[in-house]
Structure 1
Amino acid sequence: MSEFDNVTAPPPPPASGNPPQEDRTLALVAHLLGIATSFLGPLIIWLISKDKPNSSFATDQAKEALNFQITLLIIYVIGIILSVILIGALINMLAWLACLVLSIIAAVKANDGVAYRYPFALRLIK
Structure 2
Amino acid sequence: MAAHVGSIVTAWFALGLIAPLVVLLLRGAASPFVRRHAVESLNFQINAFVLTIVFALLMFVLVGFILLPVYGVFYLVCVVIATVRASNGEEYRYPLTVRLVS
1:40 aligns with 18
1:74 aligns with 2:50: yes
Tell me which residue corresponds to 1:123: 99
Structure of higher CA gyration radius: 1
Is the CA contact (8 Å cut-off) linking 1:31 and 1:107 kept in structure 2?
Answer: yes
Unpaired stretches in structure 2, ≥5 consecutive residues:
11-15
What are the residue-to-residue correspondences of 1:1-126 with 2, within 5 Å? 28-37=1-10, 38-52=16-30, 55-126=31-102
Greater per-residue helix proportion: 2
Provide the TM-score with structure 2 as the length reference: 0.89
Partners of 1:35 and 1:125 in 2: CA distance: 19
**Paired positions, count:** 97
Residue identity opposite 2:5 in structure 1:
L
2:13 alignment partner in structure 1: none
Identical positions, percent:
33
Shift of 1:68: 0.5
Which position in structure 2 is the counterpart of 1:12? none
Q: Secondary structure at the match of 2:71?
A: helix
User: Gapped runs of 5+ residues in structure 1?
Assistant: 1-27
Structure-2 separation of matches of 1:106 and 1:90? 25
Give the alignment's TM-score, normalised by structure 1.
0.73
Runs of 4+ in 1 over 3 A off after TM superposition: none
Per the TM alignment, residue 89 of structure 1 is displaced from its structure 2 partner at its CA by 2.2
